[in-house]
Each structure stands twice: as structure tokens, then as C-alpha cells.
């Protein structure tokens, strides 16, 4: 089931199956029931204080599990570079980018807090979102 959420930065929608969130899109479609745990989490996030994560689908690969954990340790409003994270996970910077792009849960898993050493890097759902999110977190 696809639900929607209208945030101050744009429309968001997400896939809610079997009482957990399996995918999240940074574009609008679906309706907002306002009671879904993901909607609740999103509204708390956009008020500047994120709650504990709602249930989400398990990682597709073991590496994504490690990546997820590392990303969740980046505090709200801070960023890491691809190189730094690659060193903590004992992997190559480029491999990180590949795995981040394959992440089906942007925002919930804060993949937007990873930037390039020279430049902002990339973002699967549109670079405008990444910039807007980082600016929003900085000013919160």
C-alpha cells in the first residue's frame, strides 16, 4: 500500500507492506492517513527531532546492514564524506556510492548525510532534495 506525506520540503510517498516500510520515494502520490508510523516519524523529523525509526524492511545484502548501522550513527545536522565512511566500513569509497544508490529507504536511512570530499556527491531521488535536506538540518 502506498501512502503519502506532504512535507515542508516537498511531497513524499512510501510503500507500507506487512506492517513495515519497504520503500520510500521523494515524490508525491498516495494519500496521507496521518496515523501510519512512517508519517508520524516524518512529521517529527521535519520538526527537527527525529523519533526512533519505524519498522523497516530488512537489508537486501549483509553489506547494506552494516552501511545502515553506520549511517544511523551520523547525528542530525552532521555529514560524513564517502572516504571517511569507506574507511570505517573497510571498503572502497566508490563501493559506498554504489550501495547508497541502491538504498530503497532514503531519509529513514540518512543517505543524504554523505557528501563527497570535493563537492556534494550524488543522490538517487534528485540532488535538489539532498541540498534542501542538508540545509534544513543545518538550520534546525
Assess contact for 12 and 4: CB atoms under 8 A: yes
Q: Is 88 in the site for DNA (CB under 7 A)?
A: no
Contacts for 42 with CB less than 8 Å, ≥ 6 apart: 5, 7, 12, 107
> Which one is catalytic: 21, 29, 111, 125?
111
- CA atoms of 45 and 135, how far apart (whole Å): 14
Nearer to DNA, 34 or 101 (CB): 101
Q: Is 111 in the site for DNA (CB under 7 A)?
A: yes
Q: Is 134 in the site for DNA (CB under 7 A)?
A: no
DSSP 17-34: ETTEEEEEESS--SB--S
Stretch that binds DNA, among 5-13, 16-24, 49-57, 122-130 (CB under 7 A): 122-130
Strand intervals (E) in the chain: 2-7, 10-17, 20-25, 80-81, 114-115
The reply to whether 111 belongs to the active site is: yes
Give min distance, CB of 42 to DNA, in A.
Answer: 18
Give min distance, CB of 110 to DNA, in A.
Answer: 10
Report 6-45 residues binding DNA (CB under 7 A).
Answer: none
- CA atoms of 49 and 76, how far apart (whole Å): 8
Give min distance, CB of 114 to DNA, in A.
Answer: 5
Question: 114 has which bridge partners?
Answer: 80
Which residue ranges make up the site for DNA (CB under 7 A)?
60-61, 63-64, 67, 81-83, 86, 91-103, 106, 111-112, 114, 116-119, 121-124
Active site residues: 111
Amino acid at each position: 500500500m502506498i501512502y503519502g506525506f506532504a512535507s515542508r520540503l516537498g511531497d513524499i510517498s512510501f510503500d507500507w507492506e506487512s506492517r513495515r516500510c519497504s520503500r520510500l520515494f521523494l515524490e508525491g502520490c498516495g494519500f496521507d492517513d496521518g496515523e501510519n508510523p512512517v508519517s508520524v516519524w516524518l512529521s517529527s523529523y521535519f520538526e527537527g527531532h527525529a523519533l526512533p525509526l519505524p519498522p523497516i524492511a530488512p537489508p537486501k545484502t549483509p553489506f547494506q546492514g552494516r552501511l545502515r548501522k553506520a549511517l544511523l550513527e551520523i547525528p542530525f545536522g552532521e555529514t560524513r564524506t564517502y572516504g571517511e565512511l569507506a574507511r570505517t566500513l573497510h571498503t572502497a569509497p566508490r563501493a559506498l556510492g554504489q550501495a547508497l544508490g541502491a538504498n530503497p529507504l532514503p531519509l529513514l536511512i540518512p543517505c543524504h548525510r554523505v557528501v563527497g570530499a570535493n563537492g556534494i556527491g550524488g543522490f538517487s531521488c534528485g540532488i535538489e532534495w539532498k541540498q534542501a535536506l542538508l540545509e534544513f538540518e543545518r538550520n534546525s
